[in-house]
Each structure stands twice: as C-alpha cells, then as structure tokens.
C-alpha cells in the first residue's frame, strides 16, 4: 500500500486528518482491502452456532468477569450461558 499522505507532519497526525486529505491511491487500496476481507470472511461459530457482534461482546464480558474475579474462564460454560440467555 502507498503511504496515506505525502507530508511527514501529516503522517504523524493521521488520527486528525479527514478522508479527503488522504492520497486517493491509499483510499482506493484500503477500500479494496476492506472489500476483499469482508467477502472472504466467514462468521465466527462456536458449536455450530453463528456469533454476532452483541454475542461476541457478551462472551468477552463473561471472560473479563471471570478473569477479574481470579477465575479461569470456561469457554464452554460461557457459550452455553449465552445460548440459553438468547432462547
């Protein structure tokens, strides 16, 4: 991929630069990469059940809660809990 901007000072502050200030070649390459990733990506599944964004967040919260309480997270029990709560 080409550099997103030409000027070094702009490169140091990319988070404050608008899309219109990025090089057109860079924007085109990013959009192409995004398209390729989204078309090739398969949804995450656990035990044959698809995981959406809300489910992923809930699962992460279960793991974080277990870790914060000094426990070892159990992937199977966390996923079972989430599946039951969705039913």
Domain assignments of the chain as residue spans, ordered by start: 8-40, 45-86
Distance separating alpha carbons of residues 50 and 47, to the nearest angstrom: 9
Place of tokens 């140091």: 12
CB neighbours (10 Å) of residue 78? Answer: 19
Distances, alpha carbon 67 to alpha carbons 7, 47, 59, 63, 72, in Å: 44, 23, 13, 6, 6
pLDDT at 43: 79
When pLDDT is cut at 50, 70 and 90, the band that residue 22 belongs to is very high
pTM of the model: 0.52
**pLDDT one-digit tens code per residue, 51-84:** 788 888 888 888 898 889 988 777 666 667 666 6
Residue 25 has pLDDT above 60, yes or no: yes
Q: What is the pLDDT of residue 5?
A: 94
């Amino acid at each position: 991929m080409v550099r997103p901007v030409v000027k070094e000072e702009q490169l140091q502050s990319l988070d404050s630069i608008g899309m219109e200030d990025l090089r057109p070649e860079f924007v085109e390459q990013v959009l192409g990469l995004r398209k390729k990733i989204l078309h090739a990506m398969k949804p995450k599944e656990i035990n044959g059940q698809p995981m959406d964004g809300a489910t992923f967040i809930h699962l992460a919260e279960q793991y974080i809660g277990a870790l914060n309480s000094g426990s070892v997270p159990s992937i199977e029990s966390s996923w079972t809990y989430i599946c039951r709560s969705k039913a």
